[in-house]
Structure 1
Amino acid sequence: MAKRKPATLAGDVPSRQQIWESIRTLKASQRTITMDRLNLLLPKMPESRITDYLRGLVAAGYVERRNPNKAIGDVAEYELIRDIGFEAPRVRRDGSEPPVPGREQLWRTMKIIGEFTAQELADAATTPARSIAVNTAHEYCQFLAHANYLHITRASGPNLPARYRLASGRWTGPMAPQIRRTKELYDPNTKAVVYSRVTKTEGGEP
């Protein structure tokens, strides 16, 4: 069997989200969850990636094997027993939960704290499991502001950091907009590129 290529670029809808949505689709249509059916719904997804995530969901108690003692040749069947909604559980193969990525922490925090500077956002988003650098918060705020997700309430000046707040109606969902390696901002909630930064050599902004 030819090796499949990954379905998305870095920063697109995470593979776990695509798998989780497919599992929920099968559940909603009252069809048994099997690898063959997941493969049909995710034709560009590497099978090993689906298997690993499914194994993690089983270990974490979100999915259950319906026929754990299946005979040789029988198809493994699964059932979604803990549906937590749209956002896919973040689990490792052993069922443990990894720390939330930095930009996801920033995205969730800015909805809560109201108005903020990059430093204030980084401080508020930092947890014992993951520290957020102010430079990371600053770059993320700039991209979100260019895409009109953030409103600048105070422009930056000499020794004066810019202040931001989430613009009205711009919370598009729980998944954090991602900065691609190509310096585009991609929103996995809307599945759209919402901002592209043109480099200075191309005649645009730096």
Structure 2
Amino acid sequence: MSRKPAHLEMTGGKSPRQRVWEAIRTMADREGGFTTTDLTRASKVGLPLISEYMKALVAGGFLRREDRLRFGAAHRYWLVKDVGLEAPRLRRDGTAVTQGRGNEAMWNAMRHFLPTFDFRELAAYASTPDHPVFPETAKAYIGALHAAGYLDEVAPAKLGSRPIAARYALRHEMKTGPRAPMVQRTKVVFDPNQGRVVWHEEPSWEET
């Protein structure tokens, strides 16, 4: 089953997996562990999605599951690796999902380290040996955030024999939080810090 776009899946700025993870952390100190039913009640997320995520968390080493059960008893779980507030982004086999890390790194660079930047500088600053950010990726992300009102163009691009890329700065009032705005394939920018769509591309209408 394909996942919905983030702005349709999230409630109050939080995805179902985020709500489940937060519920897990509140139950981390329970001596007797917790069950999927406990999490359903606490997170208001359906059991099928919780069960799928729990399997990934066990496979990834975040949870321990008690498999020796009495007849009819539910599996019990314990949190063994707490990585903080943000829910681990995992595939079914427990391996980490890397999609979106580039946006997170670029957003962090804009918020904390780069007063102004062009797309090449942003890509270079946000890159790591394990996860490079390509200049064209940074250019597309800057374009989406500029259209959504996050960025000011502080110096326009200059053409010629030695072209100079446009420079941008993150507007102070748009530093909405630690989570990077998401750019959906449907040309929508969704801000998970605010839990809302902040921009969408207007459809083009051709006269007939």
TM-score (norm 2): 0.74
1:107 aligns with 107
Matched-pair contact (CA < 8 Å) for 2:36–2:47? no
How does 1:19-58 map onto structure 2 within 5 Å?
19-25=20-26, 33-40=34-41, 41-43=43-45, 45=46, 47=48, 49-58=49-58
CA deviations 1:128-161 (Å, max 9, x no partner) are: 3333232221121122123332232212232231
Q: Deviations over 1:29-55 (max 9, x none)?
A: 999532223334344x571x4333223
1:63 deviates by: 2.7
Secondary structure of 2:55 counterpart: helix
- Give the alignment partner of residue 180 of structure 1, picking from 178, 184, 204: 184
Residue 62 of structure 2: aligned partner: 62
Which amino acid in 1 is paired with 2:186?
T
Question: How many correspondences in the alignment?
Answer: 196
CA RMSD, aligned part only? 3.3
Residues 5, 46 of structure 1: 8 Å contact kept: no
26-35 or 80-89: bigger deviation = 26-35
Using the aligned pairs only, state the percent identity: 34
Q: TM-score, length-normalised on structure 1?
A: 0.75
Residues 1:134 and 1:146: Cα distance change in structure 2 (over 3 Å) = same
CA contact (8 A) 1:147 1:194 kept: yes
Q: Cα offset for 1:194?
A: 0.8
What's 1:157 paired with? Answer: 158
Match of 1:129 in 2: 130
Provide runs of 4+ in structure 1 moved above 6 Å: 28-31
- 5+ residue gaps, structure 2, are none
In structure 2, the CA distance between the partners of 1:112 and 1:75, relative to structure 1 (3 Å rule), is same
Partner of 1:97: 96
